[in-house]
Chain A
């Protein structure tokens, strides 16, 4: 507590009420008074009200008039002394303000102009009559703080004549507060280390807290929402015994991306319209396993492994075209080919980027993430596949699935996975699944009774639903808002995702 604050409390104690700080503490700066009062008020010592008003000071010219009389009075005195005065001499005798005095003396009817262009006293002032100096009297009233007696028009005229200068005055009325006391003990705002060490907190009074506030924003980093959802999916896969596939390979060969998956070479998915082809490097190698390649050729061209094939001229050159992978299933195919060296039940998954040469809009980007699971086991049934999907999706809070027959070049049977969407009031597709075709698996050398289930969904779609993002470009890519990244909540997939 400052000395001044103590002074205020003491004066208040003595007077009971301070009506005007201007009067009681004329020397204090109003800003200092305000900060002292608001601090005392915060401690409940006082209550105060603020009164702002306008007061006037005299200008230098005003002060001169107050001391020596107005310009018009000076002129009258001069004329009195000399009898008459040539107009051209006014400036010489009275300086530049002489003109002002001359004009006002005429206006007051104190002087007249003779035929010889000389100023003489008017009849009114003949015989030693002394006029009253109105300007000087007005300024007296200003100095005596009696400006309330002057009417507004006259005040404005004085201002216009630059004789007075307005100034804002802040005054305060102070009364005692609920916790009024003279002592210097203030309410503490915070518990400090010193208080704890010294034990002084026991004797101190603490300011009440305002709990109706959010506190200060915390400086923090953040992970991207898409990666947060990705992590949720990874944990679901891990919990079900799935190992992550090495999908760090964006550039893929036509062979792995298409031919190995039994996508015929004239399939529309291989169109320039849908797939990014690579110009440089221009051409890939093929897997070293020539038997595998011959099997792929046979199963496409004339049929093999009980399939009649697509019956067209299969070209090895087409396999060597490099593309940006259109699905991570290219890597799954490679993993399954490796599995053929030692076939056994296997569970694999990946969540990684795939590329489509599509026109960009609110739901399509040239890049997105595919979530893919691959499950190989002996003699799995279609019903087993369905119940496994139910278990998988239940882990992300999605239940009540339905399965719709569909077509996919590399799975048979193929099933689209639907879940009921409360908000939309209809069944929505949430993923795709199926058993890989024998034409894909048997050329690799995998045994016939090892059936392989594959399923996939995009990472973006559930994330957009989770975080209520309407436009995929606001989620993936450089147009994302950093505020959005900073402020998004944890991605708990089991929190009512699709409702």
Chain B
């Protein structure tokens, strides 16, 4: 969720009251935003102006600046009406060239005439563009905004894509001219990396870069990277040309609407915006932007009342909605329907359920009737079968004096293979594409790495160290929808001055006895009943040669036995790989065998 810093005094001036921190916190709580921090104390020390840091919903782009927060809170407090945004007549055009199809196909534009900035509103205008860029614009990949001093350029404007070497201009805050290929290299320098360098990848590999030019062929901007120095705006700028380029048309129009809705309040003709005629014949996107047509969501009154547990009249619901800037009027044709008009600042409303939520917020969550308590009587609860099996393992192991541990499921490739003296044949392990550290390369196929790491971290604990885990390993399986599955495993270790193999054998026996499973001494062809046995298995490279065994389990008389696990004395190389200065024995079973 985005956090917005607003000047405390400015906001309180705009909402008409100097709230205490607690009062304002409560207002935010009711409205559905969150006061993260009031910097008053620090600000006073540092002789700065106090700020409020406010966390807003990720879908409320209209709250990304102080103007929007103040407007919404004023409407919520019933101190203001939703502004009536209006369009004047277009005076210029933006031509979109088919060449942009290959890189960034959509554009729209608008003009703010006779705007008068103050220090605060100018800073807010710049900050809002940043906030939009980092949120809805997804770091300029989906949408990018350019704002220009209209008096320094001349329409009509042209949006096209050109080879990088063919675009030359002095970029914003630079003094010399670059061609755009040079400019990409310049921004990629390490000292630029955290600013504009992080956007370079969006267009860098394209054979043609997007560019906006004016009637005189002057470069206005190189979207989504940088504007030109030539057309830059300042506190004194009177007329602003706003151009938006995008790969997502819906978001482009949302961004344009938010910008002009928030800042047209500073125009001489308040809340009036001059549209721009977009000429984009090749893809059928010719139109006039911005589009201020208010959308209407028809919402059922009985739906709202039923969801809220209320019996409100249409008027009562309308007055709740008005606090959230939604304007409801009863339908002329259907008595159960409210026609809810959405201001251009509320594109987050997608469905009548969003209207219903705003009706609830307007009413106040605290005020909602609790209704009749839901009965628990008709529901028969049950545990997941594998969790019941796992609990039997867990309780039996802890009763046998082992300690339960819960290591992570993710580990390094080496920990799952090389350190255990195993080879990865690529058939089993799920590998991650984008881990931030080497610790998380694969999803484990055995519990052993986590258990060994736990022993290593606890090597100063008194000996012997006896720990177990019941947890999931993950294996690939191409036949499944998700191409992999979890398998519940149980693993237990004994680590000490001696390997304690007989003790691990004894624990296995205890577990098997808990699962009603006999030890079959004369296994194989000579027996046919339920039971388990172990067979030396020198293919288990994790164990010391001659000291590793596979564990077999026959579930019932006459069934084929299944190999359900392995046990043995861990190979000294394994202990060294995990930096454990002890000898150890280990057993691991597939718990699903007991389902």
**Judging by beta carbons under 8 Å apart, are B407 and A478 in contact?**
yes
Most buried by A among B372, B406, B461, B486: B406
**Judging by beta carbons under 8 Å apart, are A402 and B370 in contact?**
no
**Judging by beta carbons under 8 Å apart, are A438 and B410 in contact?**
no
Shortest CB distance B62–A (Å): 13
Q: Which of B232-288 contact A (CB under 8 A)?
A: 248-251
The 8 A CB mask of A278-310 against B (1 = contact, 0 = none) is 111101111100000000000000010111111
The 8 A CB mask of B361-402 against A (1 = contact, 0 = none) is 100011011111110111111111011000000110111111
Instruction: Assess whether B353 is interfacial by the CB under 8 Å rule.
Output: yes
Residue of A with least CB distance to B354: A412
Instruction: Assess whether B523 is interfacial by the CB under 8 Å rule.
Output: no
Cβ-defined partner of B250 (8 Å) among A307, A312, A402, A478: A312
Q: Which of A56-64, A120-128, A156-164, A243-251 contacts B (4 or more CB under 8 A)?
A: A243-251
Q: Give the B interface residue count (CB, 8 A).
A: 101
Q: Which of A36-44, A108-116, A218-226 contacts B (4 or more CB under 8 A)?
A: A218-226
**Judging by beta carbons under 8 Å apart, are A284 and B381 in contact?**
no
Cβ-defined partner of B350 (8 Å) among A307, A380, A483: A307
Q: Which of B470-478, B540-548, B553-561, B569-577 contacts A (4 or more CB under 8 A)?
A: B470-478
A247 to B377, CA, bound (A): 25
Instruction: Assess whether A480 is interfacial by the CB under 8 Å rule.
Output: yes
Shortest CB distance A42–B (Å): 30
A12 to B29, CA, bound (A): 87
A391 to B376, CA, bound (A): 11
Which chain B residues lie closer than 8 Å to A249 at the CB level?
Answer: 482, 485-486
Which chain B residues lie closer than 8 Å to A219 at the CB level?
Answer: 401
**Judging by beta carbons under 8 Å apart, are B440 and A366 in contact?**
yes
**Judging by beta carbons under 8 Å apart, are A251 and B443 in contact?**
yes
The 8 A CB mask of A390-424 against B (1 = contact, 0 = none) is 01000000000011111101001111000000000
Which chain B residues lie closer than 8 Å to A287 at the CB level?
Answer: 481
Instruction: Assess whether A347 is interfacial by the CB under 8 Å rule.
Output: yes
Cβ-defined partner of A485 (8 Å) among B368, B404, B407, B476: B404
A403 to B370, CA, bound (A): 13
Instruction: Assess whether A24 is interfacial by the CB under 8 Å rule.
Output: no
**Judging by beta carbons under 8 Å apart, are A413 and B357 in contact?**
yes
**Judging by beta carbons under 8 Å apart, are A387 and B481 in contact?**
no
Cβ-defined partner of B31 (8 Å) among A243, A245, A283, A405: A405
Instruction: Assess whether B198 is interfacial by the CB under 8 Å rule.
Output: no
**Judging by beta carbons under 8 Å apart, are A227 and B406 in contact?**
yes
Which chain B residues lie closer than 8 Å to A138 at the CB level?
Answer: none
Q: How large is the interface on A (under 10, 10 to 19, 20 to 34, 35 or more residues)?
A: 35 or more
Instruction: Assess whether B438 is interfacial by the CB under 8 Å rule.
Output: no
Q: Which of B30-64 contact A (CB under 8 A)?
A: 30-32, 34, 57-60
Instruction: Assess whether A357 is interfacial by the CB under 8 Å rule.
Output: yes
Cβ-defined partner of A365 (8 Å) among B142, B404, B408: B408
Which chain B residues lie closer than 8 Å to A324 at the CB level?
Answer: 410, 432, 443
Instruction: Assess whether A268 is interfacial by the CB under 8 Å rule.
Output: yes
Most buried by A among B365, B366, B374: B374
| Contacts known (A306-B351, A367-B409, A483-B461); A266 close to B248, Cβ less than 8 A | yes
Residue of A with least CB distance to B59: A407
The 8 A CB mask of A220-259 against B (1 = contact, 0 = none) is 1111101100000010011111111111111111000000
The 8 A CB mask of A354-395 against B (1 = contact, 0 = none) is 010101100001110000000101011111101110010000
Instruction: Assess whether B344 is interfacial by the CB under 8 Å rule.
Output: no
- Total CB contacts across the A-B interface at under 8 A: 285
**Judging by beta carbons under 8 Å apart, are B405 and A280 in contact?**
no
The 8 A CB mask of B438-460 against A (1 = contact, 0 = none) is 00100100000010011011100
A272 to B429, CA, bound (A): 21
**Judging by beta carbons under 8 Å apart, are B384 and A347 in contact?**
no
A347 to B403, CA, bound (A): 33
**Judging by beta carbons under 8 Å apart, are A268 and B58 in contact?**
yes
| Contacts known (A238-B381, A251-B482, A277-B433); A384 close to B386, Cβ less than 8 A | no
**Judging by beta carbons under 8 Å apart, are A308 and B350 in contact?**
yes
Residue of B with least CB distance to A350: B384
Shortest CB distance B67–A (Å): 20
**Judging by beta carbons under 8 Å apart, are B307 and A451 in contact?**
yes
Cβ-defined partner of B308 (8 Å) among A222, A382, A483: A382
Instruction: Assess whether B430 is interfacial by the CB under 8 Å rule.
Output: yes
6 A–B contact pairs at CB < 8 A? A221-B403, A221-B404, A248-B384, A248-B486, A406-B57, A415-B365
Q: Sorted from nearest, which 9 A-B pairs have the closest CB atoms?
A: A241-B379, A405-B32, A381-B309, A407-B57, A221-B398, A478-B453, A281-B483, A413-B357, A279-B433
Chain A residues within CB distance 8 Å of chain B: 219-224, 226-227, 234, 237-253, 266, 268, 272, 276-281, 283-287, 303, 305-312, 322, 324, 345, 347, 353, 355, 357, 359-360, 365-367, 375, 377, 379-384, 386-388, 391, 402-407, 409, 412-415, 427, 435, 437-439, 451, 476-483, 485-486
Chain B residues within CB distance 8 Å of chain A: 1, 29-32, 34, 57-60, 135, 138, 142, 248-251, 295, 306-309, 350-354, 356-357, 360-361, 365-366, 368-374, 376-384, 386-387, 394-395, 397-410, 426, 429-437, 440, 443, 450, 453-454, 456-458, 461, 465-467, 472, 474, 476, 478, 480-486, 488
